Amino acid sequence: MFPLRVACVGLLLLAACASSSKSLSPGREARGLVQGPSKPGRDAYGFHPGDPVRVGWGDRGIMAFFESLRGPEGQHVAWRRLEPDRGTGVESFEVTYEGLSRPVRLYLDPNHGSAIHAPSGFIIQDLTSRAPGPAEEKPEVIEL
């Protein structure tokens, strides 16, 4: 079970293309949850059923995504599944972390995979671009 879990997390991290640490944009409130923009747009990623986080891999993809998702300062997130949209297969989740005034609603698509990045106001753990360190010098080129 552990190797499968590591493989799923690794796959998500490899597929990820960016992370964002922007603060949550002001959104609408519905059922006590802060929701993102009402229409898909630049900051709607994950906050609108028309622009869900496409995690793929079914429940395993959802679990791997939430294991890597963090608040903007690295806080662990708490989440619970709400209701699936039977027409699209997109599922909604209530997500919160320490310091967030109200939970937010995120939409995930467990049936279709795509490059993963963090919704606005979140980060993906261990997903950073890094410059080569001293041990990672350029390989020596040998001319023949």
Over residues 89-124, the pLDDT tens digits come to 899 999 999 999 999 999 999 999 999 999 999 999
CA distance 144 to 141: 10
CA distance 33 to 97: 13
Over residues 3-53, the pLDDT tens digits come to 555 454 454 444 443 333 333 333 333 344 444 444 445 578 999 999 999
CA distance 52 to 22: 18
Write down the pLDDT at residue 37: 44
Contacts of residue 26, defined as CB under 8 A and 6 or more positions apart, other chains included, come to none
pTM of the model: 0.61
Write down the pLDDT at residue 83: 77
Over residues 52-97, the pLDDT tens digits come to 999 999 999 999 999 999 999 999 999 999 977 778 889 999 999 9
Q: Could you tell me the residue ranges of all domains in the chain? A: 22-126
Within 10 angstroms of residue 143's Cβ, the number of other Cβ atoms is 3
The helix or strand, by DSSP H or E, that contains position 118, with its residue range, turns out to be: none
Write down the pLDDT at residue 36: 46
Residue carrying structure tokens 């597929």 = 15
